[in-house]
Amino acid sequence: MTTTTKPVKKKNWFVRLMNMDTSGSKGSGEKLPLYRQLGIQLLCILITIEVMFPILYIITLSLSSTGVRPSKLELFPKEISLVAFKEVLTRPTANPVDFITLLRNSALLSITVGLVSLLVAVTAAYAFARFKFKLRQVLMIMVFIPLLMPAVGLSTPLFLLMNSFRLVNCPGGVTAFYPFTACDAGAFGKVIFNLRDSLLGVGIAMISTALPFAVWNLKGYLDTIPKELEEAASIDGADSNQVFWQIVLPLALPQLAVTFFLGFIGYWQEFLLPWLFLTKPEDYTLAMTLYNMTGQYANSIPWNRFAAMAIIVALPVAIVYVILQKQIVSGLTAGGVKG
């Protein structure tokens, strides 16, 4: 784009197009000339095609009744059949697991991890936001360090830690709880429960990164609540516990909900830890199933079923996102990581 201060008349089309008023829709002013309007509309339609291309493609695939892979490009469904959805809902994988179990596992993990981390985090966030104490800086950095670490960074020690908790049926008929009690030396029993290979273990491991996130996010919000209300309450004789439970917590409720849903969006897609930890098909989550449908062993999966599954996995997140769009964008951009 060239800088120009001359009148727009004798410019080529590109400069004319770039020379438009970009100052926003508010206020009066001259109407947009038609050729410029049409130029912009053309660009907007091209961008719309770019955005809609994969979406239309996957919807078309999911609505086809045959699992045959498409031999030529189809972006609009020729038929509307819910066979693929029905098949996915009745028998999502080659394993004997039904859809409800997968859904339950995904929902259980994402909702409990979100709730537990929130409940544990809220008092700590309040302490960081309101109290002045000696170790404040040090402890805040300690909470911040896990946030810097990419999720995969903690997966090795968490795997080993969870793997060390096992219930074993020893040969003598005794049950040993590793690592606290063990079978007799040299004797190997049958493992009846491995914390690592369970949803509980995955959930605990997920909290290790969910908790610092919740503390940090809530602290950022509590910082913005004006202190006057709390000061008024304490002048009226409320002690700080009452201030927290009766003034701050009700005020922070909307932000608690936003933090929960922000977490939910992430944990719903959580793949890394479950895929590393879990081996039993009845513990699988929707994200793992989706991966199974595209991985190297997926050549037998009909694409209409894959498409249906992709839509089902995307739906809850998309709904939450659309409802909370404003809060999410402002939460991500304004003061996300500030000390």
> Least distance from C-beta 162 to another protein, angstroms?
9
Q: How far is CA 338 from the centre of its chain?
A: 21
Structural contact between residues 193 and 167, judged by C-beta atoms closer than 8 angstroms: yes
> Least distance from C-beta 107 to another protein, angstroms?
15
Pick the piece of the chain touching another protein (CB under 8 A) from 93-101, 246-254, 255-263, 319-327: 319-327
Q: Does 268 bind another protein (CB under 8 A)?
A: yes
> Which residue number, 175 or 325, has a Cβ lying nearer to another protein?
325
191 φψ region: left (φ > 0), alpha (ψ -120 to 50), beta (else): beta
Measured CA to CA, the distance from residue 27 to residue 105 in angstroms comes to: 52
- The site string for another protein over 86-105 (x = CB under 8 A, - otherwise) reads --------------------
> Least distance from C-beta 307 to another protein, angstroms?
8
Q: Does 249 bind another protein (CB under 8 A)?
A: no
> Which residue number, 124 or 256, has a Cβ lying nearer to another protein?
124
Q: Does 313 bind another protein (CB under 8 A)?
A: yes
Binder of another protein out of 101, 112, 159, 170 (CB under 8 A)? 159
> What are the b/e assignments for 18-53, b being 16+ CB within 10 Å?
eeeeeeeeeeeeeeeeeeeeebeeeeeeeeeeeeee
Q: How far is CA 168 from the centre of its chain?
A: 35
Measured CA to CA, the distance from residue 191 to residue 322 in angstroms comes to: 45
In angstroms, the Cα distances linking 8 to 5, 31, 186, 218 are 9, 16, 89, 51
Q: Does 47 bind another protein (CB under 8 A)?
A: yes
Binder of another protein out of 290, 302, 304, 308 (CB under 8 A)? 290
Q: Give 191-254 as a DSSP string.
A: EEEEGGGSHHHHHHHHHHHHHHHHHHHHHHHHTTS-SHHHHHHHHTT--HHHIIIIIIHHHHHH
> Least distance from C-beta 298 to another protein, angstroms?
10
Binder of another protein out of 207, 222, 252, 308 (CB under 8 A)? 207
Binder of another protein out of 9, 10, 12, 22 (CB under 8 A)? 22
Beta-bridged to residue 177, according to DSSP, are 167
Element (H, E) at 175: strand 175-178
Binder of another protein out of 102, 109, 158, 262 (CB under 8 A)? 158
Binder of another protein out of 121, 199, 222, 308 (CB under 8 A)? 121
Tokens for 277? Answer: 């930890």
> Least distance from C-beta 14 to another protein, angstroms?
11
> Which residue number, 9 or 96, has a Cβ lying nearer to another protein?
9
Binder of another protein out of 227, 253, 257, 279 (CB under 8 A)? 227
